[in-house]
A and B are shown apart, each in its own frame.
Chain A
Amino acid sequence: MDDARGSHLSVLIDLSPTQWHNSAQGPPRNTYPLPLNSFLSQLLAFLNSHIASKHENTLAVFGAFPGKSVMLYSTIDPTNHDQAIDANSYPPFRLVDSTIVTRITEELEALGEPEEEAPSSLVSALIKALCYVNRVTLPSVSTTNNPADGHDPAILPDPRILVLSVSPDLSTSYIPIMNAIFSAQKLKVTIDVCQIYGPDTIFLQQAAHLTGGSYIFLERRDALLQYLIMSFLSPPSIRKILSVPTQDKVDFRAACFCHKNIVDIGFVCSVCLSIFCQPVPVCSTCRTKFPMKTLQRLNASRPLLSSSTSNASRTSPSTPQARTPTALGADTGASTTNGARSSTAPLGGLPHSGSIGNGTPRAANINGSRPGPEAR
């Protein structure tokens, strides 16, 4: 609980028109429809309460549009909007609200009607938010060149980033997201994620987990404001006391480099650590040739693995939720039955040779313990 210092909040809004259109659909599709305008009014109430909770609090809002990301509002760069004096509203709130709404309208109109919508550039917005945090936390030389900047560089706001995502995972963005996560760790930035619409995103789950933030999958989407205020309003320093809802389950799967599939069992080059979804003779990243023996060994166990990886990639959006009950249920059973089996498997030997040895029992095991996604 840092007394005199405010906290900095960067909010990333995923503004993919298709996803928001889907989100606004009525009951047959969604139990709780949430159109963009009602989302925005709830978000603005949240942003206002962030500004109101402490005078020193700073705010930056980024929008991720298809193929483009922009900064919508920032406390540091004041936009000189002509403000009509309104006796019924508090000027700072009004400034935030009007700036954000105007900018979003401008950007959405500028989008036009493309035939195919580019995926939302959430990663680019995330990287820009990190650049921005780097700028506000770093007492830089250039702030002296900027007289409009009333910000005192000595104050280091407690920075955090809130990602409001509506899009599913984009496997091409795996490496940039990972890079962003590690730089957030270096900058000590907390990344909070609220998945408002669409399936769980495993990359953002990892982002929240690795930076100590919370990931919330919105179930009652009509209660967005309550979720936001309960979980994301408090700065990280006092969250321990408030016991903010933390992550349910983190999926540590990765995207392979060859087909951008999301895999749970991958083949990894020992030189450059590239991940492949199937055994390859030559690493596509570092051009290393792998020994034939390894390839033959891995290919021997391949049929079962390819089925399991394609299985995972096909059901990837729903897998995290779908697997929860089965995984937990199967866990104790699997460990006990396998405990007996492992005595026959070579113990303490090389793991690869061991893995050939018990190839068949494993196949039975996977088929036996994974009916979850299929049954669904």
Chain B
Amino acid sequence: MPPRRDNDKFIQADSDSDISVDDEDFSKSHKGKGKADVRRKRDVKGKGKAKDTQSYTWEASYTRSWETVQEDEAGSLQSSVDDWMARGRRRRLLEPSTAIRRTIIRHLILLLDLSTSMMDRDMRPTRFDLMLQVVREFVAEWFDQNPLGQIGVVGMRAGIGERIGEMSGNPQEVLKCIADRHKLEPTGEPSLQNSIEMARSSMSHLPTHSSREIIIIFGSLTTCDPGNIHETLDACVKAKIRISVVALAAEMKICRDLCDKTGGQFGVALNEGHFRDLLFELIPPPAQQAVSRGASRATNPSADLMMMGFPTRLPDTSPPSLCVCHSEVKSEGFLCPRCLAKVCDVPTDCDICGLMIVSSPHLARSYHHLFPVRAYDAVLSADEAASNSCHGCFRPFPPPPTGTTTTSEGLSPLGRYRCPDCKNDFCSECDVFVHDVIHCCPGCGQ
């Protein structure tokens, strides 16, 4: 996640300072000129700001994102869009091609506060709606960075913990269970203990390699528990569950304790943007957790060779047999490749032989980081043109433009991008699609 500029946050603050009024006039007078003008203007603006408001550095970080989009002579936004794409391409070229270190398997339970306090309107539109919106973004981003991870969702409402989504490694499934706003309508009091217990029990079967985490989004100032929550806390510490809390209202002692004792992070959201930032800080894999866990069994805690088994999945129609994890008669399940015992779900440790069982697609999800596609070169001159349609999607290339067009770096005037390895031409859509989604060149793919 790139650092986010939070425009909404600063609009109010800026509108009553006279500097911003000056600025607005300044930019209006220059509006609608070429790109070079824009760049110059930005420089001037930056300098002016630095001079005028040296004491207010927070004001300097504020840029008007909508002003960087400029219409071209014909009044179309196409040139801005192209420019934006070109910038994306260049950023890709700058990316390092080294492997990224990741925690192996993360398991996370999201505890969502669905009590009546979530209907407060101190955050727009309501705490509840904001939470759903931010959590959706969070889930998408989390799965992107933690390909082997799994997320389950538990809601706190009417004094009980309510399982909203089973632990799943598929972002679509997790998003689906928090998609329907009406099913999650907040009611009653929240119960921290009940829901933490529920989250803890659903993570009890997980393999020892994985991290177990709970993220609580808490809007209430009370909790309605059936027993002593400190016992639950001790149980979590024992189970090595890391609890992080993002509070929407104010700091509560018990929330702070939960985080401190389990090694999690605690934060109180000041506003909408800060809430998002706090939650997104929890996306990268926790570093110190991996060290403390690995130190006990290896000299080099961050790297180890692990033995893993890739199971066979039995269909629903196979003859039922007992599973080793619950001793229930079931048709579906996974067979451990070493001892052929049947387990209900992967990833897990085999109960019989202790082999770590993962499905290979889980591992494969992160391989595109290891073997990235080389960036395509923009084809600049027309005489190089070989084929008349894109090698990926077979879209015919547009005819070469007549006259001189101003092009920025990394952008082909012909709309052709050539793979340096297989020398095939691709259209810009395929270029973006191949590098961002497929991670595999259609021409070089065997």
Chain A residues packing against B (C-beta within 8 Å) = 69, 71, 74, 77, 119, 121, 123-124, 127-128, 130-132, 134-135, 138, 140-142, 145-146, 148, 170, 172-176, 178-183, 185-187, 206, 209-210, 246-254, 263-276, 279-280, 283, 285-286, 288-295, 298, 301, 305, 308, 320, 323, 327-328, 330-332, 334-336, 338-339, 341-342, 345, 350-355, 358, 362, 365-366, 369-370
In the complex, A279 Cα to B396 Cα: how many Å?
Answer: 49
Question: For B360, what are the chain A residues with a Cβ–Cβ distance below 8 Å?
Answer: 206, 252-254, 275
4 A-B pairs besides A131-B438, A362-B339 with CB distance below 8 A are: A131-B392, A254-B363, A292-B299, A365-B339
- What are some 26 contacts across the A-B interface (CB < 8 A)? A71-B394, A119-B446, A124-B445, A127-B438, A131-B393, A142-B398, A142-B429, A148-B396, A173-B445, A175-B367, A182-B364, A249-B314, A252-B312, A270-B104, A271-B101, A273-B367, A283-B305, A286-B370, A291-B304, A294-B304, A327-B312, A327-B335, A334-B340, A335-B341, A341-B352, A369-B340
In the complex, A340 Cα to B173 Cα: how many Å?
Answer: 38
Q: Which single member of A285, A308, A328, A336 contacts B319 (CB below 8 Å)?
A: A328
Question: For A294, what are the chain B residues with a Cβ–Cβ distance below 8 Å?
Answer: 298, 304-305
Chain B residues packing against A (C-beta within 8 Å) = 78, 81, 99, 101-102, 104, 148, 172, 207-209, 296-300, 302-319, 321-324, 334-335, 337-342, 346, 349, 351-356, 359-361, 363-371, 389-396, 398, 415, 427-430, 433-434, 437-443, 445-446
Interface centre among B99, B307, B434 (most CB of A within 10 A): B307
With A134-B393, A290-B304, A294-B305 in contact, do A345 and B337 touch (Cβ < 8 Å)? no
In the complex, A237 Cα to B268 Cα: how many Å?
Answer: 44
Shortest beta-carbon distance, A263 to chain B, in Å?
7
In the complex, A79 Cα to B389 Cα: how many Å?
Answer: 13
Question: For B297, what are the chain A residues with a Cβ–Cβ distance below 8 Å?
Answer: 350, 352-353
Question: For B311, what are the chain A residues with a Cβ–Cβ distance below 8 Å?
Answer: 252
With CB as the reference atom, state the residue of chain A lying closest to B364: A178
CB pair B353 A249 closer than 8 Å: no
In the complex, A339 Cα to B323 Cα: how many Å?
Answer: 11
In the complex, A194 Cα to B440 Cα: how many Å?
Answer: 24
CB pair A268 B363 closer than 8 Å: yes
With CB as the reference atom, state the residue of chain A lying closest to B301: A291
In the complex, A233 Cα to B383 Cα: how many Å?
Answer: 45
Q: Which single member of B302, B369, B442 contacts A128 (CB below 8 Å)?
A: B442
CB pair A265 B337 closer than 8 Å: yes
CB pair B445 A183 closer than 8 Å: no
CB pair B439 A179 closer than 8 Å: yes
With A251-B312, A265-B310, A267-B308 in contact, do A128 and B354 touch (Cβ < 8 Å)? no
With CB as the reference atom, state the residue of chain A lying closest to B429: A140
Question: For A206, what are the chain B residues with a Cβ–Cβ distance below 8 Å?
Answer: 360-361
CB pair B445 A178 closer than 8 Å: no
With CB as the reference atom, state the residue of chain B lying closest to A143: B395
In the complex, A148 Cα to B396 Cα: how many Å?
Answer: 10
